[in-house]
Structure formats: structure tokens, C-alpha cells
Amino acid sequence: MCDIETKPWQGVRIVYVHHVASLINSASHVWGKQAWNTGDLSKNNWWLALISLGESWHNNHHAFEYSARHGLEWWQFDLTWYVIKFLQIVGLITDVKLPSQEHKQKMTFNN
């Protein structure tokens, strides 16, 4: 028997998160724009970013998988990055990795 009290919103939250994660992994390989030459079908999808709190900058993620920030442009909403940046400012995390200008240049389509 489980001692955890269940609330209806917990089920909704779990279903929402799983469906959005699945949608990101499928829709972001079909619809959107490729900012970086990753050699795959990953795309950045702005409308999916709105419902996923910024987790759908999928082409950015494929290009710079090590990066703590995937909303690389000022207009690319990325709630996870804001939380990471806050934790870095208050000193709770260090060694936050971001793509260098050199790596960005290397990943552009112009090369």
C-alpha cells in the first residue's frame, strides 16, 4: 500500500510532461528551422517551445549537446537556462558549459 496521497493534478502533470517530451522528439524532426548544420533532421520549433517551456530548440541541442543553454538567441525562450543561470549566480553550480563562438562558426551552413 502506498502512503502518498494522490491528487488529480499529479496525473495531469505526468501525462502532460510525457506527451510534450514525445512531441518534441517527433515534431522537432519534422517541423521548424535548422539553424545549424548537424547532418540530421533536428529543427528548432518556436511554437513547441511555448508549451515545453523552451525545451524544443532541438537543432541547437543536436549542434551543442553539451551546452546548458539551448535557447541560444535572445528571443529563444529557455526556462531551464534561466534556472541554471540563477543557480550559477547564487553559487550553487559551477563549470556551466556554453558553445564557443568558434564552435558556432564551425556548425554554420556557410562552411
Q: Is the pLDDT of residue 102 over 60?
A: yes
Predicted local confidence at residue 109, as pLDDT? 83
Contact 57, 47 (CB under 8 A): no
Predicted local confidence at residue 11, as pLDDT? 81
Predicted local confidence at residue 73, as pLDDT? 94
pTM of structure: 0.81
Mean pLDDT, residues 28-52: 93
Question: Could you tell me which residues come within 8 angstroms of residue 33 by beta carbon, excluding any fewer than 6 positions away?
Answer: 43, 44, 59
Q: For 44, list phi and psi in degrees, rounded to 5.
A: -85, 135
How would residue 86 be classed by pLDDT, with cut points 50, 70 and 90?
A: very high
pLDDT top residue among 54 and 99? 99
Contact 59, 33 (CB under 8 A): yes
